């Protein structure tokens, strides 16, 4: 009887994958393929493509060392058809495989495509659940069923109980579920600032870098210097480094932004977790152990664990519950094209120049830069959410649609009308000035509210709120803000609207 063909995707780089668990060594064949279609359907950052191709090549070696038969199709192999369906079809024909086994992908688009393979390729195709997540799609749907509003905090408490992380019996450690109130300190540039773990490219990575340089020259971002880990051992070293040097201050400065300090106390491990090199629950257990050993404070451990077992699982649940309609949501009817400076970084707004500049360099920006700088600006300026989504999907090394889309459309653009979050994350220059040191070097004056030279965020903030009052005016969390607007002198209000109009008309 012919063996099965086991397809392993580029973000499924773990030996514990459901498709590998169901396969039989010595009989089945593992297929891995670098395909142009996946690398180019948005023009992914060069570092992201290099990271995935190199991590895939290393993982295929790991599988061979573990006794698997692996067929690895390189991007520049002559016969490469350029698509996953094409490569599976070619391998099935070559090897006479009796069945295709694959763990479900993280994108609705690819899942739809796979569902058509059985008919197109005339071979049985079994798509298995991806159990690298703590909550299955069905469990999330059951949690969501009957709820008028979804709130991450409710979901998160259930996840703490389910995993037992930071729990003392049925109560949360420290008597409190969430220590976010302690996690909003601005940072000073003279604080000790750790850097993430970096690795020298080995020969395999070197070959991939040359390939990416040649084939994806017109993609966004700097390819070199390339320093991401590309193996499980490397990713584990990066995690251990984070836990020992940065985690103790992760909580305190989670929301802070500083010029030239691209990573602050963040973990820089999302690309490893999302690709399968690190297991999310194991990551959290290690963080919990550091807390139990007295090495990190509770606000840091809880803040980190909440992101992983809370937000990460929650956004994935929403993605699968609401796709495909979710991708088209546009609550505010925003229609402005994405400004060119999102690709070039060339803008006089120092906060945007910093966030976009480091995104070009590193394929990384931390959460508050994504949410409150690039995301906030796009929402205030009324940029079309799909264009914003495609930008985020392309530019970050950790971006896959299941996690990126709800974060962008839901959390940062409020394009889902409040399904994911309870109010739009809108902020003016004051917020940026409090949480960062960007404004000190900016051509714009953060204290000036309107007119030439005033920080554009100030007028855009009010313009956004007033423009969309019919849609969000009755949001109880915005009541105070709208009362402030209503009390404002007529000329001041007109000046805000006029400043915003002038700025937006000059936006290319
Ligand atoms: P840390 O700040 O150190 O956090 C620790 C871990 O928590 C991360 O590694 C990640 O696994 C998890 N995490 C934190 N916040 C979130 C979140 N909101 N959703 C899911 N997981 C989270 N994250 C992605 O993994 N891929 C994306 O494509 C992505 N796109 C985003 C787009 C926007 C507009 C916003 C606002 C956020 C996005 N995030 C995304 C979430 C978050 O910004 C990144 O997970 C985080 O910046 C990764 O860096 P880090 O590893 O240093 O994280
Ligand atoms: Fe950004 Fe305004 Fe500050 Fe300039 S002044 S850095 S535009 S918030």
Beta-carbon count within 10 A of 490 CB: 7
* Distance between CA atoms of residues 183 and 180, nearest Å: 5
Using CA atoms, how far residue 459 sits from 86, 373, 445, 465, 476, in Å, is 51, 15, 12, 10, 22
Q: Is 354 in the pocket of ligand 2 (CB under 6 A)?
A: no
Q: In terms of residues, how long is the chain?
A: 508
Mean of the per-residue pLDDT values of the chain: 96
For residue 366, give the DSSP letter.
Answer: -
Looking at residue 187, its pLDDT comes to 80
pLDDT in tens, 218-268: 999 999 999 999 999 999 999 999 999 999 999 888 889 999 899 999 999
Looking at residue 254, what is its pLDDT?
A: 87
Q: Is the CB of 399 under 6 A from ligand 1?
A: yes
Quote the ligand 1 centre to 138 CA distance (angstroms): 23
Q: Is 432 close to ligand 2, i.e. is its CB under 6 Å away?
A: yes
**Integer Cα distance of 199 and 241 in angstroms:** 12
- Average pLDDT in the 73-85 region? 96
Peptide bond into 127 cis (omega under 30): no
Nearest Cα neighbor of 201 from 161, 173, 229, 168 is 229
Per-residue model confidence (pLDDT) at position 1: 57
- The number of the ligand nearest the C-alpha atom of 309 reads 1
pLDDT at 186: 84
Judge whether 417 and 445 are in contact, CB under 8 Å.
no
Ligand 2, residue 433: give the atom nearest the CA.
3
Residue 288 CA to ligand 1 center (angstroms) comes to 19
Among protein residues, the one with the nearest Cα to ligand 1's atom 28 is 399
pLDDT category at 508 given cuts 50, 70, 90 is confident
Taking residues 314-333, report their average pLDDT.
98
pLDDT digits (tens, 9 = 90+) for 468-477: 999 999 999 9
Residue 31 alpha carbon to ligand 1 centre in Å: 30
Measured CA to CA, the distance from residue 334 to residue 280 in angstroms comes to 35
Listed residue (267, 15, 53) closest to 132, CA to CA: 15
Q: pLDDT tens digits, residue range 21-71?
A: 999 999 999 999 999 999 999 999 999 999 999 999 999 999 999 999 999
Residue nearest atom 1 of ligand 2, based on CA coordinates: 351
**Cβ contacts of 234-240, under 8 Å, gap ≥ 24:** 234/197, 234/199, 234/277, 235/269, 235/272, 235/277, 235/278, 236/278, 237/197, 237/199, 238/196, 238/197, 238/268, 238/269, 238/272, 239/267, 239/269, 239/272, 239/278, 239/283, 239/286, 240/286
Q: What is the mean pLDDT of residues 349-354?
A: 98
**How many contiguous H segments (helices) and E segments (strands) does the chain have?**
26, 7
| Ligand 1, atom 49: closest residue by C-alpha | 268
Element of type H or E holding 467: helix 456-467
Q: Which of 257, 351, 372, 374 to mutate to test ligand 2, by most ligand atoms within 8 A of the CB atom?
A: 351
Q: What is the number of the ligand 2 atom nearest to the C-alpha of 428?
A: 8
Residue 369 CB less than 6 A away from ligand 1: no
Residue 181 has pLDDT above 60, yes or no: yes
Determine the average pLDDT of the residues in 383-395.
98
455 CA distance to ligand 1 middle (Å): 28
Per-residue b or e along 183-215, where b marks 16 or more CB atoms closer than 10 Å to that residue's CB: beeebeeeeebbebbebebeebbebbbebbeeb
Question: Does the pLDDT value for residue 18 go beyond 80?
Answer: yes
Map tokens 């690039």 to a residue.
374
Query: Nearest CA to 383 among 354, 360, 415, 356?
Result: 415
pLDDT grade for 193, boundaries at 50, 70 and 90? confident
Q: Give the residues across from 167 on adjacent strands.
A: 172
Q: Is the CB of 412 under 6 A from ligand 1?
A: yes
Distance between CA atoms of residues 238 and 60, nearest Å = 21
- Among 192, 217, 420, 438, which Cα is nearest to 322's? 420
End-to-end CA distance of the chain: 61
* Best of 388, 394, 407, 413 for a ligand 1 pocket test (most atoms within 8 Å of beta carbon): 407
Q: Which atom of ligand 2 is nearest to the CA of 438?
A: 6
The reply to whether ligand 1 has any atom less than 6 angstroms from the CB of 396 is yes
Q: Which ligand is the nearest neighbour of the Cα of 315?
A: 1
Cα-flanking dihedrals φ and ψ of residue 103, to 5°?
Answer: -80, 140
Q: Is the CB of 429 under 6 A from ligand 2?
A: yes
Distance CA 403, CA 384 (A): 19
**Cα-to-centroid distance, 311 and ligand 1 (Å):** 8
**Of the bound ligands, which one is closest to the alpha carbon of residue 301?**
1
Q: Percent of the chain at pLDDT above 90? A: 94
User: Ligand 2, closest atom to CA 429?
Assistant: 8
What pTM did the predictor assign?
0.97
C-beta of 270 in contact with ligand 1 (< 6 A) = yes
State mean pLDDT over 410-435: 96
- In short, whether 315's Cβ falls inside 6 Å of ligand 1 is yes
Which residue has a Cα nearest atom 3 of ligand 2? 439
Q: Residue 358: what pLDDT?
A: 97
Determine whether the shortest distance from the Cβ of 90 to ligand 1 is under 6 A: no
Residue 264 in contact with ligand 2 by CB distance below 6 A: no
Instruction: Give the nearest ligand 1 atom to 270 CA.
Output: 9
Q: Is 401 a pocket residue for ligand 1 (Cβ < 6 Å)? A: no
Cβ contact 133:428 at 8 Å? no
Which ligand is nearest the CA of 310, by number? 1
Q: How many CA atoms lie within 13 A of 388 on its CB side?
A: 33
Domains defined for the chain, CATH in brackets: 4-128 (3.40.50.620), 137-196+246-318 (1.25.40.80), 341-505 (1.10.579.10)
For 281-299, letters b (16+ CB in 10 Å) and e give eebbebbbebbeeeebbbb
Specify which residues 308 forms β-bridges with: none
- Verify whether ligand 1 is closer than 6 Å to residue 133 (CB atom): no
Pick the atom of ligand 1 nearest to 266's CA: 3
Report how far ligand 2's centroid is from the alpha carbon of 351 (Å): 6
Task: State whether the beta carbon of 435 lies less than 6 angstroms from ligand 2.
Answer: no
For 286-342, what is the HEC assignment?
HHHHHHHCCCCCHHHHHHHHHHHHHHHHHHHHHHHHHCCHHHHCCCCCCCECCCCHH
């Amino acid at each position: 009887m012919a063996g099965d063909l086991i397809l392993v995707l580029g973000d499924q780089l773990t030996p514990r994958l459901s498709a590998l668990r169901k396969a039989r060594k010595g009989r089945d064949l593992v297929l891995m393929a670098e395909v142009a279609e996946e690398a180019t359907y948005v023009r992914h950052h060069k570092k992201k493509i290099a990271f995935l191709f190199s991590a895939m090549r290393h993982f295929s070696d790991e599988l061979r060392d573990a006794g698997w038969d692996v067929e690895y199709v390189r991007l520049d192999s002559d016969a490469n058809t350029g698509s996953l369906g094409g490569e599976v079809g070619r391998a099935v024909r070559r090897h006479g495989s009796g069945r295709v086994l694959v763990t479900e992908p993280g994108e609705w688009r690819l899942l739809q495509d796979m569902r058509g393979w059985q008919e197109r390729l005339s071979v049985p195709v079994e798509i298995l659940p991806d159990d690298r997540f703590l909550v299955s799609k069905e469990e999330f749907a059951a949690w969501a069923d009957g709820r008028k509003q979804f709130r991450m905090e409710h979901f998160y408490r259930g996840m703490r109980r389910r995993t037992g992380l930071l729990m003392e019996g049925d109560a949360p450690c420290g008597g409190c579920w969430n220590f976010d109130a302690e996690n909003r300190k601005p940072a000073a540039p003279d604080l000790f600032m750790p850097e993430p773990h970096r690795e020298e490219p080995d020969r395999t990575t070197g070959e991939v870098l040359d390939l990416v340089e040649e084939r994806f020259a017109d993609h966004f971002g700097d390819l070199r210097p390339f320093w991401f880990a590309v193996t499980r051992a490397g990713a584990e070293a990066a995690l251990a480094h984070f836990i020992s040097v940065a985690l103790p201050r992760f909580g305190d400065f989670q929301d802070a932004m500083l010029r030239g300090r691209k990573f602050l106390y963040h973990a820089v491990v999302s690309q490893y977790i999302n690709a399968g090199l690190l297991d999310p629950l194991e990551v959290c257990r290690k963080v919990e152990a550091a807390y139990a050993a007295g090495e990190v404070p509770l606000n840091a451990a809880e803040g980190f664990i909440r992101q992983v077992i809370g937000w990460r699982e929650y956004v994935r649940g929403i993605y699968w519950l609401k796709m495909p309609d979710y991708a088209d949501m546009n609550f505010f009817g925003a229609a402005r094209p994405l400004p060119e400076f999102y690709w070039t970084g060339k803008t006089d707004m120092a906060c945007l120049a910093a966030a976009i500049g480091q995104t070009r360099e590193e394929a990384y920006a931390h959460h508050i830069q994504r949410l409150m700088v690039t995301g906030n600006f796009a929402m205030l300026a009324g940029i079309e959410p799909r264009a914003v989504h495609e930008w985020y999907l392309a530019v970050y090394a950790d971006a896959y649609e299941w996690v990126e889309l709800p974060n962008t459309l839901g959390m940062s653009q409020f394009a889902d009308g409040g399904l994911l979050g309870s109010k739009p994350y809108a902020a003016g220059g004051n917020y940026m000035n409090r949480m960062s040191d960007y404004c000190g070097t900016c051509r714009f004056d953060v204290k000036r509210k309107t007119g030439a030279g005033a920080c554009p965020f100030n007028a855009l903030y009010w313009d956004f709120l007033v423009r969309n009052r019919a849609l969000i005016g009755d949001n109880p969390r915005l009541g105070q803000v709208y009362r402030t607007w209503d009390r404002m002198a007529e000329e001041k209000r007109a000046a805000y609207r006029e400043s915003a109009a002038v700025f937006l008309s000059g936006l290319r």
